Amino acid sequence: MGFENVVGGKLKLKGAAIEKREKKKKKKKKKKNKDDDETRKRKYVELNEDDDSDDDEHFQKRTSSREKKEDENNNKLDTRTDAEKAHEERSRQQRKKRILEHAELSHKDKVRLFNEKLGRLSEHHDIPKVGPG
């Protein structure tokens, strides 16, 4: 068994040649103009001065828009059938019942109930002993 048939050299990949490493272009940081900051501050101050008078109007618009949304939600047509409504109501009640039962028991009580349940099971559910002892 000889190494006569072995091709030497580096591994050549099919397709386009792969560059060793492309040089990354450095991103230039943008310089902030101080003039822009000052003009923004002036505009902000001017708007705040005008805002005091418009506060009540803005509050009224917000509350009226909330009321409109609530009215729209109430006015939506319920396209569910009676059976679907009853099913949802039943599942909601069952969920509530399960949550209440779960909340009533402490961890200690849950472990006690689980052990009692395991104690009631027949022997073929027991883990068999394997090995000496």
Does some domain include residue 65? yes
Residue 47 CA to residue 40 CA, distance in Å, equals 10
Domain that holds residue 67: 34-73
What is the predicted pLDDT for the residue at 65? 76
pLDDT in tens, the chain (133 residues): 677 788 778 877 777 665 665 667 778 877 766 666 677 777 777 776 655 556 666 667 777 777 777 777 666 778 889 999 999 999 999 999 988 887 888 889 989 999 999 888 887 766 777 777 6
Same domain for 42 and 68: yes
Does some domain include residue 132? no
In total, how many domains does the chain have? 2
The DSSP result for 39-77, as a single string, is HHHHHHHHHHHHHHHHHHHHHHHHHHHHHHHHHHHHHS-
| pTM of the complete model | 0.28
Does some domain include residue 8? no
Does some domain include residue 98? yes
Does some domain include residue 126? no
Does some domain include residue 16? no
